[in-house]
Every structure is written in C-alpha cells, then in structure tokens.
Structure 1
Amino acid sequence: MRLFAGLFLLLAGQALLAAVLPGAVLVWNLNRGNTAYMEAQDRQALAAMTTLLGAELKAGVPMANALQVVQSSFRENSLAGDPAAPLRDRVELVGSTGSHIAGPATSGERVRAERPVKLDGRVVAIARIVRAPPTNAASFAFIRNQVIGIVVAMSTIFLILLVAGYFIASRWAEPQLALYRASRAIAQGDYDADVTESGPSETRGTMRNLGRIARSFDRLETARRTWLVSVSEELRKPVHALAGRLTAIRADSPPTDAEAFEEVVEGVRRLGEMAEDLHAVALADLGRLPVRFATVDPRALIHNAIWTSSKRAKAQNVTLEPGDLPQATVPVKWDGPRIEQLFTALIENSLRYTPGGGRILLGLEGQRNAWRLIIDDSAPGIDVGLAQELFEPFYRTSTEPGESVMTSGLGLATAQAIVEAHHGRIEASRSPIGGLRVTVILPAAPPTT
C-alpha cells in the first residue's frame, strides 16, 4: 500500500506541475498580449488624434487650445467607431523643444507613446500619451473570462492526469506488491505462496526465479523432514531393544557393579527419551504427530511424571513435588502417554537449569472449559527474554548453573508439538519462586469437527 501511495503521490505531483505551469504561462501570455493590444490601440488612436490636431492648427486654432478642441469634440460626439476616443484626458501636447503646451503633465510617469503634430510638413508639436488607459467593465470582464477559461481547462487536464496517474500507479504497484507478498511468505517458510507472473518483464522474471527458489526450498525442506523422521524411527529401535536387554539382564543375573549398571540404565533411558522427543518433533514438523484422545486424570499423570523423574531430581539434590492440584479426580480427554511425555520434557528442561537445593513444582488450575498445567522452577532459571527461542527445535544455551554444557534443546520443542496437537498453547514467563514458569493451557476435550 505504501508503494502505491508513494507512486500515486509522485504522479499526482507531476500532474499538478503539468497543469499549473502551462496555466501560469497562458495567464502571463494573456496579460502580455492584452497589454500589447492596448498599446497598439493607443498608437493607432494617437495617429488619428495628431491628424485632427494638424487640421485644427491649419484652421487657425491656437496650439494651446487645439488639444482641448479635439478632445471636446470627442466628448460631444462620443462616436463608437472613433479611434481617438480612448485617448480622452490622457494626451499631453508639448512643443518641439519639450516645453509643456496643453493636457496633463507627465508628472514623472512613463511616456507610453508619442507622435509629432505637423503643419504644412513641419513638426510644430509633439503629442504624448502619459496615462494608462482606464480599466472599464468590458475589458475587466474579458480578462476575467479568459482567466476562468484557462483555470477550467487546466483543472480538467489535472483531473485527467490524476485519474491516469491512479491507474498507472495501480498497474505498476500491484505486481511489485505481489512480489513483496510472495517473497515475504517464502521467507517465512510458506513455499506454496502464489508466485503468479505479472507486470513488467523484469518483475515477471523475478517472480519466475522466486518460484524456482521456493520449489527448491520446498523439496529440501520435505527431504529434511522425511530424513529426520526416518532417523528418529531408526534410532528408537536399537534404543528400545537395548533397554529391554538391560531389563532382562537385571532380572536374570544381578550385575556385580550395581551402581555402574544403573548409570548405564539411566543413560539408555535418557537416550530413549531423546529419541522419542526427536520423533515427536519430526512428526509434528510434518503435521503427522499421532494423538489418541481418551479420558484420563491429569492429577495421576502429574504424579506419574514426578515419580519417573524423581531419581534424577534426587541425584541433583532438587526437590520435585506437586504444587496446587485439584482435590478430586479431573476427567479430561487427552492423550495420556503424550501428556506424560510433555510433563517429562518440561521436568527435564527445568532440571537442566535448577541448581542443587532448588525446587520444581507441578500444578494444575482449572479455567473455563480448559486446564492450566504449570511448572515452576527456582532461581536462577532461564532468562525470560529468551522465551521465544526456548521452543525452537535444537535451541542451545550454555547457562546451566555451574557448568558450560550445551543442551540439545528438544524438550520444549517436544512440549510445544504435543500441546499444539491437543489444540492448546504453551507460554513462558517468570516464576514466583525465582526461575522460569512454563504454562500449558489445554482444552478439557478436543474440539468437535
């Protein structure tokens, strides 16, 4: 819209100049032509007057009275066709040496025209026009009508150019706006954006190239997502097999070094969780994360998640306990295993950044047709300013207390994928106990379609 407005204003300015400048020139030329016309009339009238003055002098009228006699005859006759009529009371008669004889003196005014008065071929005086012609109603009306005509013509031209500028701006800006919208959509990951070729040849060529880039990126993105799903699926198989084998070994013959064996079991468990998280993120990226809704009790899911992660929390000297929970059973329609995976991912994330002696609380609050799952950890936690990046897959940070450990960052990305599959939302904010608060809002039941 800004492009269209800018282009239209530019064309409107040019249209205004195209209308005003010629109009100003026409008005100036009209005034100049009218002045030249009046001066020509004065010269013609002065020639007629000097002829009449010569006739009066020849008839014996004294030179001082000749001009008055001639102008009196103008007043008496008032002949419409008399060429000397416009000169009444505007002519000064001076001698051949420049001395004043009759008529109005120049009084410093510019002499508009002069002509000799001859008697028997001799110059006996000079007649001068020393005053501008008086403005009468007819001449004023003529000039006014001409100026109005010029203004109307220039206004019409301006409006025509303005309309033409609007259509030109629309036709030129629309392909550019389409190009901008397509490039913005592609930059945001929408590779199916409309890249219809239109406009000038350069714009069509750019749209064509942009479409090729979008298709190329779409193929790469599809390949990446498919590859990620395949890798996660292949990773889950040996990890599950290894976990089953370790369980069988523990049942058949207790290991001699129980502590080392438990460390291996814990490592395999965490590797299995990472494989599950990676698989969930990959499926969510493809829009194929499976969820099976059933009636479950979120209180029981919270207690299960706390029990599953209690061993690691105890090893880190972190208190992991339920916060505010409803007193009675809460029936909701969620995917129980996915919600447990969600809780485990959130707990694992908090354990990474909660120092020894810290606390992690899991709470549940009801609101209209939905439930708020809340996990709080104690200080220092993660900077809330990183809240947007926290949910990005593979986001890495090195703010673990007392260490410089790079984490995979799959936990919150997995949580977000599960939440979105349940038609909810997840938010990060500052916790009342000093660290990070992650709030998950889920509807009590999936929306009906």
Structure 2
Amino acid sequence: MRLFPGMFIPLAAQALLAAVVPGGLLVWNMHNGQQIELAQRDQERLEGFVSTAGEALAAGKPLSRLIPELDQRDPRLAGRIQLANADGSPIAGPASSNPPRAERPLKLNGQTVALARIVREPTLTDSDRNFLATQYLGIAVIVTGLFALLLAAAYEFARRWSKPQLELYRLSREIVHGDHDVDIEERGPAEVVATSRNLQRIASQFSRLETARRTWLVSIADELKRPTESLAVHLDKLAAVQHPISADLATGLEEDQRRLSQMAEDLSAVALADLGRLPVNFSQVDPRALIHNAIWGNAKRAEGQGVKLETSTLPQYTILVKWDGARIEQLFGALIDNSLRYTPRNGRIVLGLESSRDAWRLIIDDSAPGVDVMLAQRLFEPFYRSSDRPEDSAAASGLGLATARAIVEAHHGRIEASRSPIGGLRVTVILPAEPPRA
C-alpha cells in the first residue's frame, strides 16, 4: 500500500514551496533595496557634479570640457553624465533614448544654462559583487536549511499519521481475506483505536456466522444423505412387488434418487472444503482407469441423451499417481454431469489426459453451445448456473463444478474453464502426481 509515499510527496512539495517562496521574496527585496541604494548614490554624486560644474562655469570654463574632466576625476560617473539644453537636446556626453536615472539643473548666476543627467546604469564594483554574492549565498543557505527542516517535519508527520492508517488497512485486508482472528494494537489516536476495535468485533461476528454457516451446511448434507439412501432401498423394494410399476416411472424415480444422492454428496464436499476438512485418502491409482470408470458409469445416461462420450490423448501405458481415487471419480462425475446438462443431442464430450512435468492435465471438452469466457471462472462458484432456462435449473443443483474445485484444491491442484476447440466448454484440471510433502 502506497499510503506513506502518497502522503509524504504532497507534504514535501508544500515544504519546497514554503521554503522557495520566502527565499524568492528575500532575493526580490534585496534586489530592490540595492537599486534604491544605487539610485541614492547617483543622486548624491550628481549633486556633487552639479556643484563642481557650477564653480567651473563661474570660472569661465566651457560646458564642452566639463564631461571629459569628470570622466578623469570620478570613474563612477565616467561615461554616464550627459549635459543637455533646457529643451532636452544634448550638448555633451553620451546620447541615450532612455529616461535619465537622475537629473539636476546646472545654473550660472541664478540662470539655468544646462541640465545634468545620469543616462546609464552604474557599473558594479568588485566590492558590490562580493557583497551581492555573500547575500545570495546567505539566502541560499537559509532556504536550503528551511527546506530540510520542513522536509524532516513532513516526513515525521507522514510517518506518524500513516502508521495507524496502515494498521487499519492491515486489519481490513485480513478480514477481507477471511482471517477473522485479528489482533489490534491499542496505540494511536482515539478514533483509530475505536475503529480498530469495531473492525475486530466485525471480524469476530463474521467468524461466528461463517462457522455456523459451514457447520449447518455439513449438517444438512449429512441429514440429506439418510433419506436419499433410504429412498434407494424403498425403490428397490417397490420394484420387487407383485405388480411392478411402469418402466418410465421407475426410470424417473431412479433418476430423481440419483440427483438427490449426488446433491447430498456435492453439498457435503463443498461444505467440508469450506471448513478445510474435506477428507482425502491418497493412494496409488491409475488415472486412465478412473477415466474409463467415469465413462462407463455415465455411458447409459449419455446414450439416452444422444451424446457421444469418448476419450482422446490417453497414454497407452499404465500410470501410477498418488490421488484419492474415490474423490477423483467424484470429480469426473461432476464434470461429465455438467457437460451432459448443456450438450445438445448429437453432441460430443471428450476426456483427455496429458503429461505436464511432475503433474497431469485432465481435459474435458464438450460441444456447443459454449460459455462467455469472461464468466467462465464463475462456473466454479456454488449455485452459479450459466443458463437461465427453467429446465436446466430444475436439473442442476449448481454444486457440481464447485464440488470439482473443492476436490482439485484438496489435491493441491488447480482448475480452469475456457472455450473448447469443439465449440463448447473446456475444463482443465492440473493435479500433481503426488501431494506435496508437509
């Protein structure tokens, strides 16, 4: 979670802004102060020039000689003074179209004979440059120090503020992932501690509800098994009476009993898997034999629906893996039952077995219609049906593929759904040849 960087970066930007803006204002203020000081110096120097020039004019010196003498006497005004007539036309000195920095009248016997102007910017001396460099360096040091201080404060604030938020995030993530036994730290602001306690109470309530739900499912599945087994016995007795019932009625009753029995088995497997207690007994089995047994067990039903049940890509040699044979047969039964439910007459269901390093890939394909690839993984959710047709809903418990997933996960494998190359659904099961060692 990027909570800390997400908070620290804006605070660091604000710290930079808070340091740079005052530094810029200091530079601007120092620049303006220097300009004012230079202007005052020019005013004072111009006053001195006007006084000296007035004395020179009284002594009979012409105006044209005043500027060259000034250039030799005062280098700070050299090349910057212009003498002009009252109408502004230049008499001596450099020409300039810019407004004068300073201007004073040059008088003789109380009469203005010329205007003395400073028309050029002053040239900074080495002492001026050294002074400015010292000032700018001082401002840079102040700005850098202020930024470092604000950055450290921003880091500490972000760290302290984000820590309780990260703790709340941790608690909520654990609850979402199903870990309801959460621990909280009684530290941080009162609001955060109170929120953590509420999350802990919610997790505890979820845990009780989830445990109760799974326990009820297991109990219901066990209770459902008894009447279905009893129903099978009673049907056998009913078939042996002196006046047997019709073949269609017997077939219908037998199919209903099979569905109830399968529903009870599926519900029990899903519920036990939710509790993490699905029993699996690993022993050496031959996957090819399990596939042939599944085909033989469903051949009559497939033939009755006009569906061809066949195999492909089966190895020609004996394979020994360490699986729970009964559970794998239940897995195949659930997968074939799901395909039979949606495969139309004259369709095909193909079972295959391929080697995949230290695992085996079990593949079952069926004919069109297929399923939306975006919804394929939802097929393994309990009670999810890909069809809204009433006849499909009546014939399905919605637990077959959920049962398949529970059995696969108990074998430390994975199950996936995709589009089949023969037009319908492909279910791929990948199981390790042996369970991982604890």
Q: TM-score by structure 1 length?
A: 0.83
Cα offsets for 1:332-353 (capped at 9, x unmatched): 2222221221111111111101
The 1:418–1:104 alpha-carbon spacing in structure 2 relative to 1, beyond 3 Å, is same
Residue 416 (structure 2) pairs with residue 418 (structure 1): no
TM alignment of 1:376-415, pairs within 5 A: 376-398=365-387, 405=394, 407-415=396-404
Distance 1:73 1:31, change over 3 A: closer
**Structure 2 residue aligned with 1:28:** 28
Equivalent of residue 64 in structure 1, options 43, 62, 67:
62
Letter in 1 for 2:375: L
Instruction: Decide whether aligned partners of structure 1 residues 33 and 381 sit closer, same or farther in structure 2, where only a CA change above 3 A counts.
Output: closer
| Structure 2 residues without counterparts, runs of 5 or longer | none
Could you tell me which residue of structure 2 aligns to residue 150 of structure 1? Answer: 139
Give the secondary structure class of the aligned counterpart of 1:243.
helix
1:294-313 deviations in Å (ceiling 9; x for gaps): 22233332233223223322
The answer to whether residue 362 in structure 2 is matched with residue 373 in structure 1 is: yes
Matches within 5 A, 1:239-278: 239-248=228-237, 250=239, 253=241, 256-259=244-247, 260-278=249-267
Would you say the 8 A contact 1:93–1:125 is kept in 2?
Answer: no
* 1:280 corresponding residue in structure 2: 269
Alpha-carbon distance in structure 1 between the residues aligned to 2:72 and 2:158: 65
The CA distance in 2 between the partners of 1:164 and 1:213, in whole Å, is 36
Q: Shift in Å at residue 229 of structure 1?
A: 1.0
Tell me the secondary structure at the aligned position of residue 373 of structure 1: strand
Secondary structure of 1:360's aligned partner: strand
2: CA distance, partners of 1:321 / 1:368:
25
**Is the Cα–Cα contact under 8 Å of residues 71 and 77 in structure 2 kept in the other structure?**
no
Paired AA for residue 306 in structure 1 = I
Aligned length: 436
Would the alpha carbon gap of residues 166 and 406 (structure 1) be closer, same or farther in structure 2, given more than 3 Å must change?
farther
Specify the SS of the correspondent of 1:441: strand
Question: Deviations for 1:51-103, whole angstroms, at most 9, x for unmatched residues?
Answer: 5456556xx6115369749x849947xxxxxxx774455445678x6798975
Instruction: Describe the shift of the 1:124–1:409 C-alpha distance in structure 2 as closer, same or farther (beyond 3 A).
Output: closer
Judged with a 3 Å threshold, the aligned counterparts in structure 2 of structure 1 residues 268 and 233 are, in CA distance, closer, same or farther, namely same
**Aligned-partner Cα distance in 2 for 1:401–1:314:** 23
Equivalent position SS for 1:156: helix
Take 1:106 and 1:323, find their aligned partners in 2: how far apart are those partners?
A: 104
Question: Separation in 2 of the partners of 1:181 and 1:92?
Answer: 79
Percent identity between matched residues is 53
CA RMSD of aligned residues (A): 3.5
Residue 153 (structure 1) shift: 2.6
Q: Secondary structure at the match of 1:271?
A: helix
1:79 equivalent in structure 2 = none
Q: Tell me the TM-score normalised to structure 2 length.
A: 0.85
Structure 1: which 5+ runs fail to align?
77-83
Match of 2:10 in 1: 10
Q: 1:300-339 counterparts in 2 under 5 A?
A: 300-339=289-328
* Contact 2:370–2:419 (8 Å) recurs in 1: no
The CA deviation at 1:321 is: 3.7
Asked if structure 1 preserves the Cα contact closer than 8 Å seen for 2:335 and 2:364, the reply is yes
Q: 1:446 to 1:85 in 2, by over 3 A?
A: closer
- Give the superposition deviation at 1:285: 0.6
Note if contact 1:298-1:332 (Cα within 8 Å) is conserved in structure 2: yes
- For residues 14-93 of structure 1, the aligned pairs below 5 Å read 14-53=14-53, 61-62=59-60, 64=62, 68=66, 72=69, 75=72, 86-88=76-78, 90-91=80-81
C-alpha distance in structure 1 between counterparts of 2:378 and 2:295, whole Å: 26
Separation of aligned partners in 2, 1:399 and 1:102: 105
Contact 2:53–2:66, Cα closer than 8 Å, also in 1? no
Q: Shift of the alpha carbon at 1:282?
A: 0.2
Using the TM superposition, name which of 48-57 and 300-309 deviates more: 48-57
Aligned residue for 1:231?
220
Q: How far does residue 43 in structure 1 lie from its aligned partner after superposition?
A: 3.0
- TM-superposed deviation, 1:435: 2.1
Secondary structure, in 3 states, of the residue corresponding to 1:317? coil
